[in-house]
Structure 1
């Protein structure tokens, strides 16, 4: 998916991995969602270049970054802040999908001097029922290893996931088999830790923000997205009526165009 080699920094006592797509442009930080990894932002990095230099973090417990708790949004945000400071890259725009969106607006609330603007992809200010019918995906019995990538995918399908490709993007060869880079127990802990009412974080910053919402999303309703935009000053809402939760996969060109256009204005 990307030829950019991973970089590593030990931050806050933890070895974290990130991808710096380079170039002369202004830096932008990108934060993936649960079960994801930094390299999913390779298409966006290509679309934003050369005007913007995308830096995508493997958040703790994901990708090639070291795991272990705590796994709250505040801790994820503190990791992101440490990376921005280590690279001397702030203040900068922060793009986040799903849980990464929650981390992004938490970072803006806790460390406003580091965040110039926000792009939040399909994540609400409330992550609990009834606003989100299914905020936790039960992966407690998922396998961590199989004899092949195909076998790993089949095991995920057998647990009720029709299309396992998003999760298989976080699988790597392991000896004579394949393994998932994330630990299911940690993902359960993280999903529960990031549940709750987070209005105070969403409303806790004043930088410009763009909220992207998929019309078929299971994580963010149209009504809640409108309320988020109405209650927070300087926030734009952009609807993708034919997309689900993963807008960047469902409409990669439209998503990249929206992000690029917003960053050029913000």
Structure 2
């Protein structure tokens, strides 16, 4: 039996009216990419979320940064309101990000990404196709060929997507993510069905077949890596390898947080992000 197509329910679209951001659009090849622009007079910060996180789910992070930067959050290809299609590999995601920078006329933006988004940030910064002012990576998957597997199985992501496709609610989301703030559980319940099944599957495969450390040593400009003190994704060995390969980068552990650092411990994660960004905004 075929799976349902991506969907964005009316209740999810209503969320966009409740956030202090303007929808903007860029084109990467034939794909239209949706971006939430929060405005602000500071330097531009282009934000890239994780594997099953449409842009709106990072609203609670973006809105806390507008005194420091102008946040723009991308609906990564195959999520939210952005078109799907393509191979969903790091090079393609990087090309999409470069197209957003060019299409929206962003001048030397700062880059920030969480999880999958952090891997994309590393690829963009290493490729050097667009000028950037600095990069902050939050808990990037460090799995890859010959390394330990990504700790969350693909089946877990797809089970949650199936729940969203047939209709879920915050209580059911809380069974998987009990520590999250209630609003973030509600947003995930409404928006997860906007994620394309093939995008999740191909990206998860990339976590196993594309090595983060192929990109990380070549990240240009100021860089910072944030990670959850209890994260199963960024281990102590991973931090040590990252430090050795890019000694100029700043590192910060977010206490009492696993992989989903902003959802697990919002105040500490936001403080760490602001501290990482501040030297890059001068």
TM-score by length of 2: 0.80
What residue is the counterpart of 1:190 in the other structure?
203
State whether residues 133 and 222 of structure 2, in contact with CA within 8 Å, keep that contact through their aligned partners in structure 1.
yes
More divergent stretch after superposition (30-39 vs 195-204): 195-204
Higher strand share: 1
CA distance in structure 2 between the aligned counterparts of 1:68 and 1:167, rounded to whole angstroms: 27
- 2:90 corresponds, among 57, 68, 73, to 73
Deviation for aligned residue 1:199: 1.6
**1:23 aligned onto 2:40:** yes
Distance 1:13 1:167, change over 3 A: farther
Higher helix share: 2
Q: Deviations over 1:28-81 (max 9, x none)?
A: 010001000112332222222223100110000011111112100111111011
Correspondence list, 1:134-153, <5 A: 134=151, 136-138=153-155, 139-140=157-158, 142-143=161-162, 145-146=165-166, 148-150=167-169
What residue is the counterpart of 2:134 in the other structure?
117
Deviation for aligned residue 1:232: 0.4
Deviation for aligned residue 1:4: 2.2
More divergent stretch after superposition (44-53 vs 93-102): 44-53
Deviation for aligned residue 1:171: 4.8
Instruction: Report SS of the residue matched to 2:205.
Output: helix
CA distance in structure 2 between the aligned counterparts of 1:44 and 1:162, rounded to whole angstroms: 18
State whether residues 129 and 135 of structure 1, in contact with CA within 8 Å, keep that contact through their aligned partners in structure 2.
no
Unaligned runs of 5+ in 1: 174-178
**1:181 aligned onto 2:194:** yes
What residue is the counterpart of 1:176 in the other structure?
none
Unaligned runs of 5+ in 2: 1-14
State whether residues 142 and 234 of structure 2, in contact with CA within 8 Å, keep that contact through their aligned partners in structure 1.
no
**1:199 aligned onto 2:217:** no
- 1:227 corresponds, among 217, 230, 241, to 241
- Structure 1 vs Structure 2 CA RMSD: 2.6
Count of residue pairs brought into register by the alignment: 256
Instruction: Report SS of the residue matched to 2:56.
Output: helix
